[in-house]
Amino acid sequence: MKEYIKMIVVLSVISAVCGFGLAGIRSLTKERIEEQKLLYVEGPVVKKILAGSTNDLIKDRKEIVINKTKHIVFIGKKNGKPWALAYEAEGTGFGGEMSVMIGVDLINDTLTGIGVTSNKETPGVGSRATEDTFTNEFKNKDLNAVFKIKPDGGVIDAVTGATIASRGVCGAVQKGVSMFKEIKKQAVKQ
């Protein structure tokens, strides 16, 4: 009996100490990790789809709350005036959740471009729907266009062998476009 109590106590104490230690380190590094993610994951995509902006895109970002979910909006400015917004929307591909950054031109109401920031697609198969050759199709498309693949009645050519991933990207773009009005209202007025 005594042995059992010792086993339980030792293992619990070790786990508790480790757990608290990790929680501490996590809260110490949390801010820095978020910064790094902005810099290395979202940063390059945002810079690509808002090319031509003259401001610091990472610095000029805003947090917006729509239906209690937080969205980070990057604001592209030319000569101090906002001309385009970029923000993330989620879709579902073959492997699971994917995040797509979409850029919207405020003046012409068109897409400036999109880029996939995270995905779980099969490398070499579904992942081809996350590459530039596919995502470039969305460039300069009007916001009212039907962002679906052609067999579903839309305007986008799906990647052969990556239909579901292509659908996932389209779904994310559609979702993003539907949020645009609300995001624009909050991002530009402030």
Partner 1 sequence: MATLTQEFTKGLWKEIPPFRLVLGICAALAVTKSMLDGFGMGVALIFVLVCSNVIISMLRNVIPKKVRLACYIVVIATFVVIVELITQAYVYSLYEALGIFIPLIVVNCIILGRAEAFASKKPVLRSLLDGLGIGVGYMLALVVLGGFREVLGRGTLLAGSQYVVHLFGPAFKPFAFMVEAPGAFICLGLMLGIMNILGD
Residue ranges in contact with partner 1 by CB under 8 A: 3, 6-7, 10-11, 14-15, 18, 21-22, 25-26, 29, 32-33, 36-37, 39-40
In the sheet with 97-105, reading across from the earlier edge strand, the strands are 61-66, 69-78, 81-92, 97-105, 110-118
Nearer to partner 1, 10 or 107 (CB): 10
Nearer to partner 1, 18 or 51 (CB): 18
The minimum distance between CB 28 and partner 1, in angstroms, equals 8
The minimum distance between CB 7 and partner 1, in angstroms, equals 5
The minimum distance between CB 30 and partner 1, in angstroms, equals 8
Alpha carbon distance 113, 138 (integer Å): 6
Tokens 């012409």 map to which residue? 108
Alpha carbon distance 105, 50 (integer Å): 9
Please state whether 64 falls in left (phi above 0), alpha (psi between -120 and 50) or beta.
Answer: beta
The minimum distance between CB 6 and partner 1, in angstroms, equals 5
Q: Is 118 exposed, middle or buried (0-12, 13-18, 19+ CB in 10 A)?
A: middle
Nearer to partner 1, 26 or 139 (CB): 26
Nearer to partner 1, 29 or 136 (CB): 29
